[in-house]
Amino acid sequence: MTMTGLDALTPQAVAPDYRSPYALAFETPTEARLAGFDTWPWNDPAAQASIPDTDWYSRSTRTRWGNWGPTQRRYPAPAAALDAETARERVLAVAGALIGLDYQHHHVPAWHPPADWPWKEVRSGRRGPGLDCSNFTGFAYAYALGLHFSTDVAKQAQTHLLPPGDPHAVPGIRVIRGDYDTLVAQLKPADIVFIASKSGEIVHAVLWLGRCGTGPTPTPLILDCGGPGRADADRVGIPAGVRIRPYRRVGWYAQATAHAYRVIPD
């Protein structure tokens, strides 16, 4: 079944009663920001993977990829060149279309394994469609701009070290580091922020919203696919999955930030 525009990405929300105090706001022309999404393969959920959808639940797929399911399609770049602001908002438009999708250890948002499929248990306590953090950031950039990061979070965070010609090399990445105020002042919409564990291992990736994220307080916002356990501006727990979350000065995201990527140059 084909759909038009970003309707092809819209998931069934796993926590439909949650009302976020946050929203996305775009400034670039809609026609340019969403150009091409109403054509194949973007308008076809069954085209999201590297293999035909007829093989998504085959024995060979189960043997090869297990609970992760098939890997992501290598989408082409947009047909027309985009200015930096339109490209950034295009990435966030794709990411925002997935709000409500659950957190799962999967590569493809439309992949919905049967009940007897291998499952790596997650904190949300459900099984079904979903993505993890770096598959989410990777999918947003692949779908929007035809840029294909590794979807292993540690490898994605080292993309800037890959040599030209590597299948996951993305040219022109700027690495941004600094304390909270330095980062907030430098970051722009769609920058990827990487979060480290206490041991220094990269364990999470988020998309920076900047001016594209609005809320009741001036706290900066990010968009990621993660587990539950964070509270919004109304002190309500934010459900697991793809959600807008605050980047508080004293919160885990900010205190554990390792570095960030500027993927789209000015």
Summarised one tens digit per residue, pLDDT across range 78-129 is: 999 999 999 999 999 999 999 999 999 999 999 999 999 999 999 888 899 9
In a domain, 133, yes or no: yes
The predicted pLDDT at position 124 comes to 82
In a domain, 221, yes or no: yes
Domain count, the chain: 1
In a domain, 130, yes or no: yes
The predicted pLDDT at position 123 comes to 86
pLDDT, tens digit only, all 266 positions of the chain? 455 679 999 998 999 999 999 999 999 999 999 999 999 999 999 999 999 999 999 999 999 999 999 999 999 999 999 999 999 999 999 999 999 999 999 999 999 999 999 999 998 888 999 999 999 999 999 999 999 999 999 999 999 999 999 999 999 999 999 999 999 999 999 999 999 999 999 999 999 999 999 999 999 999 999 999 999 999 999 999 999 999 999 999 999 999 999 999 99
In a domain, 119, yes or no: no
In a domain, 219, yes or no: yes
Instruction: Give the CATH number of the domain where residue 150 resides.
Output: 3.90.1720.10
The predicted pLDDT at position 231 comes to 97
In a domain, 78, yes or no: yes
Summarised one tens digit per residue, pLDDT across range 188-198 is: 999 999 999 99
3-state secondary structure the chain: CCCCHHHHCCCCCCCCCCCCCCEECCCCCHHHHCCCCCCCCCCCHHHCECCCHHHCCCHHHHHHHHHHCCCECCCCCCCCCCCHHHHHHHHHHHHHHCCCCCECCCCCCCCCCCCCCCCCCCCCCCCCCCECHHHHHHHHHHHHHCCCCCCCHHHHCCHHHCCCCCCCCCCCCEEECCCHHHHHHHCCCCCEEEEECCCCCEEEEEEECHHHEECCCCCCEEEEEECCCEECCCCCEECCEEEEEECCCCCHHHHCEEEEEECCCC
For residue 162, give its domain range: 5-14+22-114+125-262
In a domain, 120, yes or no: no
In a domain, 248, yes or no: yes
